[in-house]
């Protein structure tokens, strides 16, 4: 059996509304919000009795999704938001954008901060990392061709 697709990437946040607004400004589309709880959910995650608010967002092309989760129960046990880009584990998500300068301008209004600087990789890309809401690490890539 072959892999069909990557369904989504999950990010745990404290402020679901602000994070939805940030990724909406980036261009993702809110598909819906829901509360997840119950015995079945705890069996999937191994967390037992859980209560989570989620927002599912998709990229404009419809191929990728971001699941934003805010845990009400159990409480969050670790915080990796300030980890540098060379930390082990899942760290960042990168998005292709049409205009990196315009994107940065719009996201700064939502608290985004440039991590280093916007750089040019050969004549192929302009790239940068930003810290979004709650310090989330987000990469932006603008194709130059």
Q: Which residue ranges form the domains of the chain, and what is each CATH number?
A: 9-73 (3.10.180.10), 92-143 (3.10.180.10)
Q: What is the pLDDT of residues 127-138, one digit of tens each?
A: 999 999 988 999
What pTM did the predictor assign? 0.89
Q: What is the mean pLDDT of residues 60-67?
A: 95
Q: What is the pLDDT of residues 91-110, one digit of tens each?
A: 789 999 999 999 999 999 99
pLDDT score of 24: 98
DSSP assignments along 8-50, one per residue: -EEEE-S-HHHHHHHHHHHT-EEEEEEEEESHHHHHHHS-SS-
**Cβ of 92: how many Cβ atoms within 10 Å?**
17
DSSP assignments along 54-119, one per residue: EEEEE-TTSS-EEEEEEEEESPP----TT--TT-SS--EEEEE-S-HHHHHHHHHTTT-EESS--E
């Amino acid at each position: 059996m072959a892999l069909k697709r990557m369904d989504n990437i999950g990010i745990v946040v404290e402020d679901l509304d602000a994070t939805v607004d940030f990724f909406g400004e980036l261009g993702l589309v809110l598909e819906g919000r829901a509360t997840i709880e119950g015995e079945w959910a705890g069996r999937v995650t191994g967390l037992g009795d859980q209560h989570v608010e989620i927002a599912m967002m998709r990229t404009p092309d419809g191929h990728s999704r971001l699941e934003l989760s805010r845990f009400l129960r159990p409480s969050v046990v670790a915080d990796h938001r300030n980890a540098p880009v060379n930390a082990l584990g899942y760290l960042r998500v990168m998005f292709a954008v049409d205009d990196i300068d315009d994107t940065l301008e719009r996201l700064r209004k939502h608290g985004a901060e440039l991590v280093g600087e916007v750089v040019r990789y050969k004549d192929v890309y302009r790239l940068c990392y930003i810290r979004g809401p709650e310090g989330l690490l987000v990469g932006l890539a603008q194709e130059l061709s």
